[in-house]
Structure 1
């Protein structure tokens, strides 16, 4: 397709880039700098300042180098954000039962260590942090009885929620980029493996995954943004909620909301969110089971 005389091209992706070595013609490689350090610093700055406050100049200042030194390792700011996105996704602890042996190195790779010095095409696969710890302490856990797919799915959902809340800048990036780095693909493959084990027909697996992943994405995005707003305002989440509820205590259009909060009992915001998340996830899993059984019955009869 084209608009006028200009063809519409897909956004460039670091994972599809042909650039395999960190080099810019005419430049000398900066001393003491590598892609790993750059990505780790990027994640720290994004956590502290958000997407709006992030810039290549701010990053260079954080690293104590010039902006051109950073471009020795990445072609564009977007490419760097893709690398940061995938690094953060590597924090999601995957169910050991759903991780292929070749995808789980024996040593955990935190956000500030790993194979990121290689070019994008050479970056290593994601891993399960839980898997690494278990391997180190008790041998290969794959020899033990695997957990039910429901428990594995709960782990995927809960771990994803933690990472999305920890890094509020992740949510908008997931909609901006292809999200096909090694850690993202390891998550996708693990999630597909878990859902296949549910017994769903293959043509329904992606739909069931969409239900769970979009629920987690939406829930965690709002949770993370609310927590970030409270931090920026220097107020505790419970205090902000109480302030809001006090302000609207005489408004009849909030009667239903007040009754709902009263039914929760004397608990804080975080505990209330935990309850809501767990119950909603249970509903989703129960729905998947019910529709799976109905689909199989329909196909059999």
Structure 2
């Protein structure tokens, strides 16, 4: 069954009710089971290799059985994206936010955001392609915006602050996933591949050798990535705090 072209402005979360399906629902199948299998398949093979036929095979059903629950692959991917976002710890953090430092609460949310896309690189590819207006996306946004309102920022300034930290985390996770995929494909450790690439880069241009102090420390590339992420986030939070103070 070929997927129907979908208007990019349409979302499964706001679509008109579809006509009732004829017959009875496939036995042993549910939306939750389909989404678990879809997430596993996307984690294993990525967006490019994903297909409804592969999903049906993983579920041991016919493709038509999957289409009982969604109209097309776009709808399924949009649901899968919100399912991935649902792994972020939002409610426990929000409960602790009222009396805590907004910086620490926002830091925790940004880590959740980054870790979600690090676990599911395909979700990072889908963000922006589909409207993030599902219940899990709304829950995260509610917590993040509520936290930033405590700074005193409003309107576009608040949204700029939110975009600053979330796009930083998103970009970091996306590049990190690409790099770790390259490491895995190389059959070497991250540090081994990093040393090889550093040698190649230094042969290509003297700039790399002249700026050796910018290279990872003795504890390896993974530890350096974490330090750089925390340092970058520190700078972003300091900038938000300064902007909020200036606006008072």
Common fold, TM-score beyond 0.5?
yes
Any unmatched runs of 5+ in structure 2? Answer: 1-5
Q: Is the 1:95–1:152 Cα contact (8 Å) retained in structure 2?
A: no
Any unmatched runs of 5+ in structure 1? Answer: 1-7, 100-140, 297-301
Partner of residue 72 from structure 2, selected from 65, 73, 76: 76
Q: Is the 1:157–1:212 Cα contact (8 Å) retained in structure 2?
A: yes
Name 2:3's counterpart in structure 1. none
Q: Cα distance, 1:92 vs. partner?
A: 0.9
Partner of residue 152 from structure 1, selected from 84, 97, 105: 105
| 2:217 is equivalent to residue 279 of structure 1 | no
Name 1:113's counterpart in structure 2. none
Looking at structure 2, the residues matched to 46 and 229 of structure 1 have their Cα atoms a distance apart, in angstroms, of 18
Name 1:60's counterpart in structure 2. 56
Secondary structure, in 3 states, of the residue corresponding to 2:127?
helix
Name 2:37's counterpart in structure 1. 41
Q: Cα distance, 1:165 vs. partner?
A: 0.7
Partner of residue 13 from structure 2, selected from 15, 25, 28: 15
Looking at structure 2, the residues matched to 40 and 249 of structure 1 have their Cα atoms a distance apart, in angstroms, of 45
Looking at structure 2, the residues matched to 48 and 97 of structure 1 have their Cα atoms a distance apart, in angstroms, of 30
Q: Cα distance, 1:38 vs. partner?
A: 0.2
Name 1:216's counterpart in structure 2. 169
Q: Cα distance, 1:259 vs. partner?
A: 2.9
Q: Cα distance, 1:9 vs. partner?
A: 5.0
Q: Cα distance, 1:181 vs. partner?
A: 0.4
Q: Cα distance, 1:18 vs. partner?
A: 2.9
Looking at structure 2, the residues matched to 97 and 267 of structure 1 have their Cα atoms a distance apart, in angstroms, of 31
The two structures, once aligned, show a CA RMSD in angstroms of 2.1
Name 1:289's counterpart in structure 2. 241
Give 1 or 2: higher helix fraction. Answer: 2
Name 1:118's counterpart in structure 2. none
Looking at structure 2, the residues matched to 197 and 37 of structure 1 have their Cα atoms a distance apart, in angstroms, of 39
Secondary structure, in 3 states, of the residue corresponding to 1:32?
coil
Q: How many equivalent pairs are there?
A: 242
* Mapping of residues 127-142 of structure 1, within 5 Å: none
Partner of residue 258 from structure 1, selected from 212, 217, 220: 212
